[in-house]
Chains A and B, each alone.
Chain A
Amino acid sequence: MPLTTRRRLLAATALVAFSSQAVARSVTGRLPWSPNEAYPPDVVRPGGWLFLRPEEAATLDAIVSRLIPADDLSPSGKDLGCTVFIDRQLAGPWGTYEWLYMQPPFAEKPLPTQGIQSPLVPQQQYRKGLAALTAHCRDAFGGKTFEQLSAEEQDTLLQGMEKGEVHLPGLTAPQLTTTMFFAQVLDNTIEGFFADPIYGGNKDMAGWKMIGFPGTRYDFRDVIANPGKPYTKPPVSIMGRPEWNGKPA
């Protein structure tokens, strides 16, 4: 574990600043090798919030559970851990766009072909977007929060955000529009549905089971040898399967 932390720290800081202790390395004579050297991701444990405020998490729970409703195909987005997933992602390097090019100036009228041109990083997008959604619901639904709306009202509102028919107060181009905010939440919810459970979503590999994705088995020579044959083995994650160690996958 200390190895992981150190290496990741070095890799991250070496890219953006020179104040780190990352050292240039000289390799000659033999392949560098240390026993058991590997860089696994940190395991996300549910419980508490690292970035989200409790009221933001409650709203997000409601959103992800409309994007992925509980039905005969899967549990709800909330029960799959999508909110936990998003919270942990926001708390990590992605939440601040640490790896992206974020130097100014930021253009006022970028072309659609030029991609991300907003100075707002995901942490700011979520904070601002969720606050705007709360303000909109308070005004449009007599003081209610998003999670207090009926499922039908929630769906109608989300569809309006998706299509750009609803404009949440204070969200403007090019920094953050309502459709950009919706698209970001939907993208991250789908990530939480289908990413390895080690990141906090896709609980019990329910997303993978739904679509028949076998996960990280890494050897499908048996499948290639039997073209077209339905595949029936259960999925495996980076953490294995529940049956292997008695712990939840």
Chain B
Amino acid sequence: MSRLPKKDVVIVGLGWTGSIMAHELAMAGLDVVAIERGPWRDTAADYNIGTAPDELRYAVRQDIFLRPAQDTQTARNSPDQMALPIRKYGSYLPGNGVGGAGVHWNGHTWRFFPSDFRLRSHYVERYGAGIIPEDCTVQDWPVSYDELEPHYDFFEKVNGTSGKAGNLKGAIQPGGNPFEGWRSDEYPTRPLSPNLAQTMFQKAATDLGMHPFPLPSGNISEAYTNPYGVRLAPCTYCGFCEWFGCANYSKASPLTCVMPALVRQPNFEARTLCEVTRVNTTPDGKMATGVTYVDADGREWEQPADLVLLCAYALFNVRLLMVSKIGAQYDPASNTGTLGRNYAYQTNAGSVGYFSKDTNFNSFAGAGSLGMMADDYNGDNFDHTGLSFIGGANINCTTTNARPIRTHPTQPGAPKWGSAWKRSMVDTVNHYQSVGTQGSSMAYRDCYLDLDPTYTDRLGRPLMRMTFDFKENDLKMSRHVVDKTAEIVRAMGAEKVTTSYKKGPWSVVPYQTTHNTGGAVMSSTPRDGVVNRYTQHWDVPNLFVAGACLFPQNAGYNPTGTVGALTYWALEAIKNHYLKNPGEALVQA
């Protein structure tokens, strides 16, 4: 192993959180190196307009995603089962390379509700302690919405997020989401243009007493220059957004929003095709000394640094802590340890409407975040008295694409092949629209992450083991909101409606969502989590962790907006407090 010259900061992973951390700390004058296990990526070369719209290559064969041959997890539904490797990623698709999952996301850019940040207290205060299910390990966040608000705002400005405010400093705004937390400012760019389906949804939801509003979008509606001086171009509704890189510089991503400014800083360096294998610590385990990584030739390097930032995808930050033996592994049987605890996901389901042949939705013209929403049944925006569940779901009418390999709808009950199948496809394809829900996922005692005893990666390190299933509370919640989607689809004028409820057991096969949360939870005491309210590790003060692994449980929203806000929140603490007393804990345990 070769030891490299020491840096001020070493960052593991160069996606959203890594690029933001690197840029802000390099601007603050620190010498920063980011180590990324995937390749360098650039819009013009890798997501070239001549090659980007290729469903087979990207959405089906998963060309730009992390390949399981490099790293995967084992999975099971309960602790009494034998976990087996996810040989092909299906339920979720981690990103790979510079930009990370921020390249292939849809761009849904949400803020969690103020009540989400004090989830347990909120429900107990309003409904009594009995509403929290047994073995449900939900807890309050150690940071409040008010504290995160300026950081949500700045992340949206970096993204150029397109949307319509619903609550400006407490004043409810027509056309926006009346349930959202207060905003200090309007969205940076106006909403995307709604299509036929969204216009129909807007009317139907309004008629049913709901409060529809446009989805806050990372696909930008108009030309925009962000605070880092980087320019984005208007979205063209190409229909190749989620699972693809954007050739138009229209999707907010680390590549379009941060990287062009970041690489110009002489005190920043990125090393790609280099996989960090562990975080090194002093013999007493009380300080991090840097990281060890393996390059593409198999050579091992030690990169010492004063400050170590874990900015890989949520699952891989947790795994890196585990293989580095930093922190106490959570054990559900004894209910001890914190690392791997409170893994949560997302509870999604919905309805599909089949419309008349003169209703042309033209869904091939879509964008990752082209959608109309209603939050009337999200969070605690509705009275949970007598419902015997906690949580909620957003209701969405989105048009992301009509790519035909994955989307070739037929009438219910039609054959799967042959002439009758083809006829049914032709009769259905342009006349159907789904209305979905994206639901919260609570934390439970036996849903957790640890290291697998059997399977290893190509470098011989144990794979991480995921034990997860959908629980009764979340299934009940989902059923309640999915019933509302059926009402909306009928009100939109569908001739036929089919409804699919979420069911267990969780399967690794069909794509559900890449919103894996928890495992390195932030907490107000070391008993309940891995890092403190500033995302600083409770045991190792010069180690900070970023990403959705910090969430104590997941809300009825996509995580990226909150991940971005937490990153800027942590940066503020690092720049203004930690660097003045390096090596000191920002919160006394």
Residues of A within 8 A of B (CB): 10-11, 14-16, 18, 20, 22-34, 37-41, 66-69, 71, 73-74, 94, 97-103, 105, 107, 110-117, 155, 158, 162, 186, 189-191, 193-196, 198-199, 207-208, 210-221, 223-225, 227-231, 238
Contact = CB atoms under 8 A, between A and B. Distances in A.
Given A74-B422, A155-B418, 17 more contacts: A25-B40, A25-B271, A33-B44, A38-B45, A39-B48, A100-B88, A101-B87, A116-B88, A191-B405, A194-B55, A195-B60, A208-B404, A218-B247, A219-B237, A220-B238, A223-B365, A227-B362
Contacts of A114: 75-76, 84, 86, 507-508
Interface in B390-431: 402-405, 408, 416-419, 422-423, 425-426, 429-430
Given A99-B69, A223-B362, A30 B296 contact: no
Nearest to B82: A107
Contact of B272 (A15, A27, A33, A117): A27
Interface stretch (B159-167, B278-286, B451-459, B489-497): B451-459
Interface stretch (B260-268, B317-325, B578-586): B260-268
Contacts of A198: 54
B70 interface: yes
B236 A219 contact: yes
B458 A16 contact: yes
Which A-B residue pairs are the 5 nearest by beta carbons? A18-B298, A220-B365, A24-B295, A101-B68, A223-B365
B422 to A, nearest CB: 5
A102 B195 contact: no
5 contacts: A25-B39, A34-B45, A101-B69, A114-B84, A220-B362
A162 B54 CA distance: 29
Given A29-B264, A220-B237, A214 B364 contact: yes
Measured as residues with beta carbon below 8 angstroms from the partner, the interface class of chain B is: 35 or more
Contacts of B67: 15, 99-100
Given A18-B298, A211-B404, A113 B77 contact: yes
B69 A98 contact: yes
Given A28-B263, A28-B270, A94-B61, A37 B45 contact: yes
A132 B377 CA distance: 53
Nearest to A101: B68
Given A29-B263, A68-B417, A212-B430, A24 B196 contact: no
B35 to A, nearest CB: 9
Given A11-B39, A24-B272, A227-B199, A115 B86 contact: yes
Contacts of A228: 196, 359-362
- SS of B interface (majority): loop
Contacts of A67: 417-418
A224 B362 CA distance: 9
B404 A194 contact: yes
A220 B268 contact: no
Contacts of B405: 190-191, 194-195
Contacts of B237: 219-221, 223-224
Contacts of B223: none
A187 to B, nearest CB: 9
Nearest to B296: A22
Interface in B45-75: 45-46, 48-57, 60-62, 67-70, 72, 75
Contacts of A20: 296
A20 to B, nearest CB: 7
B81 interface: yes
B46 A195 contact: no
Contacts of B362: 220, 223, 227-229, 231
Interface in B227-283: 234, 236-240, 247-248, 259-260, 263-264, 266, 268-274
A196 to B, nearest CB: 6
| Interface-centre pick from A198, A207, A211, A230 (highest chain B CB count, 10 A) | A211
A22 B298 CA distance: 10
Interface in B83-104: 84-88, 90
Contacts of B79: none
Given A18-B298, A24-B297, A113 B508 contact: yes
Given A27-B272, A100-B87, A191-B60, A39 B51 contact: yes
| Interface-centre pick from B51, B270, B271, B296 (highest chain A CB count, 10 A) | B296
A149 B211 CA distance: 60
A16 B505 CA distance: 32
